[in-house]
Structure 1
């Protein structure tokens, strides 16, 4: 279903932005990779801190039939990255909905954007992974890590990107066939289940995370009442706080 078409840049403002601007002319399965982004961004337009050629910054375009539960694809991507890091012997956790954590620090971030065109959902998946960095700027140095720091060895960026993309394709194909088994990984590796968090940055609105449901929504208990959220509806603070990547 997906034919990978790789487009590489030395420098670009944003790989997600490039796909959005050229979505009509590009095929499903197109991957845009950049050595450096000058205007990368994460959820809610937060700045993506780009450490250049030492890390992975790429975006994937998938043209899919419209389904009501498209946000669950963020979890499909999170599981794909986690499975890839398993191959390197690195134990990663998923901070729902879009952060990958190693040793309590953020190593990767995911950004899912969708453009609806007639009966097609143009899904753009942005991935940023700290790979061979050893230093971070002052704003994030206490809350960020890299594969090099965690494994004490350098990693090939192209090799990692290709494995992650293949794992993304595999999980998205499962999703298209109504197979949501990738959510099992998200539950097993959840950084939040069983912890108390604050919703929308409101310290008076405390919730206990109890699980992830069959649609990838976060399940929380607020005053003993169960509520469910997609990533676009809730901002989690209080357990782990970091600028989006």
Structure 2
């Protein structure tokens, strides 16, 4: 079965959809895009090697693609996918107007009770709680680079054993949806944003992402190596690094750090 330009492969259970996609890239002559979907995932990977277990009812999928762009540009696809997830979730509000009355307020999409935002660099939040995460991994096979984009979206269940608050579509009174149906919406959005990124570069993606950025223009604290730096979350640069303005007005950027949001620490590495 195909969804858009992706060949869909469905498993009842996997340890990790990213691991399965990695095996496919290493063991076969991959001549097309693949979407590896698991009904349940027992050992999914997050950033910094964190485990992410999820039962049936949530979306666990990895997209295997072979981009024809420079390797250093590929981290930008984390932002491309974040926008795709954002649009996919908000489309549930638009198509169920009796439940979700969406409207613009500043730079956030909201329904009656929900605020949906993007947390740098790879999370989607509802009401400051994580509902989705993205993990990019690359693999070189012979002279070819493949990119694996892992996506997890909490639909019916959310884990409570990670280092930040989590939620699900059901918990936020958003419409229930089958994982494969949500995947079809997600791939449609991703292919649209990917085409924009491929043809026109990062500027539009960056601008769009910043419109929905969590804690933008607020003071945050960053732990970098052995130092803790506090500054204004001012921007992201054209490589996706976060830009802070210090109280001295000096501008600095980070690609590897620990961010403190409401006393929660999220580790990441671009």
TM-score by length of 2: 0.79
Q: Which residue of structure 2 aligns with residue 229 of structure 1? A: 254
TM-score by length of 1: 0.87
Q: Is contact 2:259–2:266 with CA below 8 Å preserved after alignment?
A: no
Equivalents in 2 of 1:142, 1:72: separation in Å?
24
Which of 1 and 2 has greater Rg?
2
Q: Is contact 1:64–1:120 with CA below 8 Å preserved after alignment?
A: no
State which of 56, 71, 74 in structure 1 corresponds to 2:75. 71
Equivalents in 2 of 1:121, 1:8: separation in Å?
24
Structure 1: which 5+ runs fail to align? none
CA root-mean-square deviation: 2.4
- Does residue 1:58 correspond to 2:61, yes or no? yes
Query: Structure 1 residue 243: deviation in Å?
Result: 6.8
Q: Is contact 1:96–1:191 with CA below 8 Å preserved after alignment?
A: yes
Query: Structure 1 residue 183: deviation in Å?
Result: 2.1
Q: Is contact 1:196–1:239 with CA below 8 Å preserved after alignment?
A: no
The count of residues paired between Structure 1 and Structure 2 equals: 238
Q: Which one is further off, 3-12 or 174-183?
A: 174-183
Q: Is contact 1:221–1:227 with CA below 8 Å preserved after alignment?
A: yes
Is the strand fraction higher in 1 or 2?
Answer: 2
SS at match of 1:173: helix
Equivalents in 2 of 1:121, 1:65: separation in Å?
9
Equivalents in 2 of 1:142, 1:117: separation in Å?
35
Q: Is contact 2:164–2:266 with CA below 8 Å preserved after alignment?
A: no
Q: Is contact 1:93–1:190 with CA below 8 Å preserved after alignment?
A: yes
SS at match of 2:43: coil
Equivalents in 2 of 1:215, 1:105: separation in Å?
26
Query: Structure 1 residue 6: deviation in Å?
Result: 0.4
Task: Summarize the alignment of residues 48-127 of structure 1 with structure 2, pairs less than 5 Å apart.
Answer: 48-50=52-54, 52-67=55-70, 68-89=72-93, 91-117=115-141, 120-127=144-151
Q: Is contact 2:86–2:116 with CA below 8 Å preserved after alignment?
A: yes
SS at match of 1:111: strand
State which of 208, 213, 216 in structure 2 corresponds to 1:190. 213
Query: Structure 1 residue 161: deviation in Å?
Result: 0.8
Q: 1:35 to 1:243 in 2, by over 3 A?
A: farther
Q: 1:72 to 1:171 in 2, by over 3 A?
A: same
Equivalents in 2 of 1:49, 1:240: separation in Å?
24
Q: Which one is further off, 64-73 or 36-45?
A: 64-73
Q: 1:122 to 1:174 in 2, by over 3 A?
A: same
Q: Is contact 1:209–1:218 with CA below 8 Å preserved after alignment?
A: yes
Query: Structure 1 residue 142: deviation in Å?
Result: 7.5
Equivalents in 2 of 1:142, 1:105: separation in Å?
7
